[in-house]
Amino acid sequence: MTDPAAELAPRILAGERRALARAITLVESGRADHRAQATALLERLASAGKQALRIGLSGTPGVGKSTFIESFGMMLVRQGLKVAVLAVDPSSARSGGSILGDKTRMERLSREPNAFIRPSPSQAQLGGVARRTREAVSLCEAAGFDVVLIETVGVGQSETLVAEMTDLFILLMAPAGGDELQGVKRGIMEMADMILVNKADGDLKPAALRTMSDYAGALRLLRKRPQDPEGFPKAVAVSALAEEGLKAAWEDMGALTAWRRENGHFDRRRAEQARHWFETEVREGLLARLQSDPEIRAQMQALGSAVAEGQTAPAAAAAEMLAALQR
């Protein structure tokens, strides 16, 4: 039988889109044999040492993320760059498949030979980030893409998770009144490297410029981060529809990335992220083992029932379970 890792690795390194799509399907699979094959494939590709600029993009539904990504992606493609988009859709509770179908909303970009768009169902994962998105990013890097855009659902803790797998975290906001600024969580503001206020065109342009000014003021009040040069994080007004402000935003992203590379923050952050995902993988593996062992699962269920019925305290039941695992 053909070894998928041996077959796909050279084709991905050659930039074959079909092979890349097959590989992403492989890493997204929950089957144990596919998991082993995906791990072997990623191990083979890791030695290639290719890097892309990873950009995370989040924002509330209706802010225009797909329109922005298409316009922004088209601009990058026109500059001669290869762009991959990993759009994490909400999952259908019934089928587990994508609901929004982002690829259908980026018609121009999807036709570009130097662009690759992959919608992935979030599969009820924490924060709406697909379970293997970070591995899909590695595959896109190995395939020679220069920029990888990761669009998240923009709910719950997706912002925290996407910040742990990207080099730049961009928050896309819509024009709004000053009171709406109070609704933006401080934690999200602290994670953002840039805030882009979209829809700065037509009748909404004055409101967008006011909103940009509000966010700029809020960012200046936040604690200065060591990974930011003077003037960052910043707020910028853009129009995805009119394709205005996109070039300036890209130049700002490039300047920030260059400064971080020169000062060691870029590589240090990548190393921290690799360690974070290693520890996450270990934790997930341990939890999966708890579920796969019938004896352990039965004991978990029994102790869970005892806790639910008030027969034992949660802490005591957990200590008993952990003691049993050590025997």
pLDDT at 290: 80
State the sign of the Cα–Cα–Cα–Cα dihedral 193, 113, 117, 269: negative
| Among 78, 50, 47, 72, CA closest to 59 | 72
- What DSSP string describes 110-137? HT-TTEEEEEEE-TT-GGG--TTHHHHH
The C-alpha atoms of residue 288 and residue 72 are separated, in whole angstroms, by 39
235-277 pLDDT per residue, tens: 999 999 999 999 999 999 999 999 999 999 999 999 999 998 8
Mind listing the pLDDT tens digit for each residue in 17-54?
999 999 999 988 878 889 899 999 999 998 888 899 99
> How many whole angstroms separate alpha carbon 13 and alpha carbon 198?
36
pTM: 0.87
Q: Residue 79 pLDDT more than 90?
A: yes
Tell me what pLDDT residue 93 has.
Answer: 36
Confidence of residue 101 (pLDDT cuts 50, 70, 90): very low
User: What pLDDT shows up at residue 132?
Assistant: 80
